[in-house]
Structure 1
Amino acid sequence: MGHWWTRNIIEPGKLPLLLALASFVLTFVITRIVVRLIRAGKGPFGNVKAGGLHIHHVVPGVVLTVIGGFGAVGSDRHGLGSAVSAVVFGMGAGLVLDEFALILHLDDVYWSEEGRKSVEVVVVTAALVGLMLSGFLPFGVNDLTEDELQNRAGVALSIGLNFGVALLALSKGKARMAIFGVIVPLVALVGAIRLARPTSPWARRFYRRRPRARAKARLRAYHHDRRWAGPRRRFQDLIGGKPDPEPVRPLPGRS
């Protein structure tokens, strides 16, 4: 265990990344527990206010992210300062991304359906950092041999091809596959080959005069969403809490 730790974490300089990931996940989990207790009216916790203004935890999150980021840039990669900065940065990032939906909508949508985006972004971020920690590098550079790495043209070509495949998957409406494809190119390749989602830019451009392709894309998207929407919502509710029910809108009055 000690040999593996030294060879795979200490020597490559991955300890700050590991500490940042651990503090990021731990901060998010603790934050969600606290806000769910506040929501349920349990425990000694309460909303932070200053002069009647509700201070969202994205505010201290931004401060910690800035401190940790600049601290990491200005410290030695293998020193104690780098490790401390990584922990501070991870804590700040956890607080910020926990309210990603608030930043996106510029509205307090924490317990609404839109608030699910925060949980999704946190899970995706943790997964991507975990892949990098495991040895995967963006655009598949880790798949190149030593001779290929020394050839700058080969590296640039590999990055360009992988980036293009990720963009193709994104244009087909496969955002998650495109994001993960930046780290694992095979994922983006699968998304680029498969049918585009019916509302994607690719479908609007290339399926416009192909009714059979449009119908097939709609059918596949319907079955995919029906199969995975329920499990995805339950997973998000387990991590972040169930959103508030949508208010019932009254029917318009008859004239």
Structure 2
Amino acid sequence: MSDWWYRNIVEPGKLPLLLALLAFVLTFLITRCVTRLIRAGKGPFHDISAGGRHVHHVVPGVVLMLVGGFGGVATGGRGWAAALLAVVFGIGAGLVLDEFALILYMQDVYWSERGRQSVEVVLLTTALGGMLLVGFLPLGVDGLSPDDRDDRGNLIGTLLLHFVCALISLVKGKPKLAVLGVLVPVISIVGALRLARPDSPWAKRLYRRRPRARRRAERRARRHDARWAGPTRRLQDLVGGTPTGEREGT
């Protein structure tokens, strides 16, 4: 076990990433537990206010991210200081992304339906961090040979292809496939080739004069939502709490 730990985590320099990811997940889970207790009026916890203004935990989160990020760059990512700063960064990222929806909408939508996007972003970030930890490199360039890396033309072409596929997936209303496709290019390629979501910018512009393609996109979206919307919402409720106006599920 110790040999595996050194060979796969310590020697490749992935210990700061592991610590940051663990701190990120634990901070998010603890924060959600505390906010749910505050919401239910249980325990010793309460909202923090300063001068009559509610201070959201995104504020200390931003400070911790700055300290951990700039400090990590200054240390070069090595040594015990880098490991400590990685934990600081992970804690800050957990606090910030827990209120991602508030930043996106510039409103306190923490317990609303739109607040679910914070949970989605946290789950997606955790998946991406885990993929980086087990060896995936951005844009899939880890599969290139040394000769390919020397060939700048091939490398640039590969990067552009992956970027375009991820961008098309995003415009087609598939942000999760776009983000995951940055690390696993085949995912963004699938998203780019398949029909767009009917409410996406791609569909609104390009399916306007193609009623057949729009109907197909609507049928596919209904089937997808009918299959995955329920399990996805239950997972979000389990992790982040049920939005206001819905029955508490935890």
Match in the other structure for 2:120: 120
Letter aligned with residue 195 of structure 1? L
Unaligned ranges ≥5, structure 2: none
Give the match for residue 154 of structure 1.
154
Structure 1 residue 89: Cα displacement: 0.4
For each residue in 1:85-109, what CA deviation from the matched residue of structure 2 results, as whole angstroms up to 9, or x when unmatched? Answer: 1000000000001011111111111
| Partner of residue 49, structure 1 | 49
One-letter amino acid matched to 2:190? V
Q: Return the offset for 1:230.
A: 1.1
> 1:54: Cα distance to partner?
1.4
**What letter matches 1:213 in structure 2?**
A
Residue 3 of structure 1 deviates from its aligned partner by 1.6
Post-superposition CA distance 1:189-235 (Å, at most 9, x none)? 11111111112222233322222111111111111112211111110
Per the normalisation by structure 1, the TM-score is 0.93
In 2, Cα distance between the equivalents of 1:125 and 1:154? 29
Aligned to 1:68: 68
Partner of 1:253: none
Number of aligned positions between the proteins: 246
Q: Which runs of 5+ in 1 are unaligned?
A: 247-255
Give % identity: 63
Over the aligned positions, Cα root-mean-square deviation in angstroms equals 1.3
Task: Give distance in 2, aligned partners of 1:80 and 1:152.
Answer: 36
Q: Distance in 2 between matches of 1:49 and 1:201?
A: 40
SS in 2 for 1:12: coil
Aligned to 2:164: 164
Q: How far apart, in 2, do the equivalents of 1:102 and 1:11 lie?
A: 39
Following superposition, which runs of at least 4 residues in structure 1 exceed 3 angstroms of deviation? none
Query: How far apart, CA to CA, are the structure 1 residues paired with 2:77 and 2:174?
Result: 36
Bigger CA radius of gyration: 1
| Partner of residue 107, structure 1 | 107
- Higher alpha-carbon deviation: 138-147 or 89-98: 138-147
- Distance in 2, Cα, partners of 1:179 & 1:8: 25
Could you tell me which residue of structure 1 aligns to residue 98 of structure 2?
Answer: 98
What per-residue deviation string (whole Å, max 9, x for no partner) do you get for residues 118-163 of structure 1? Answer: 1111111111111111111111111212221232222111111111
**Residues 1:27 and 2:27 aligned together:** yes
Say whether 1:77 aligns with 2:80.
Answer: no
Give the Cα separation in 1 of the matches to 2:170 and 2:49.
41
AA aligned opposite 2:201: P
Alignment-mate amino acid for residue 26 of structure 1: L
Q: Which amino acid aligns with 1:227?
A: R
Deviations 1:159-196 (A, max 9, x none): 11111111122222211111100010011111111111
Give the partner amino acid of 1:200: S
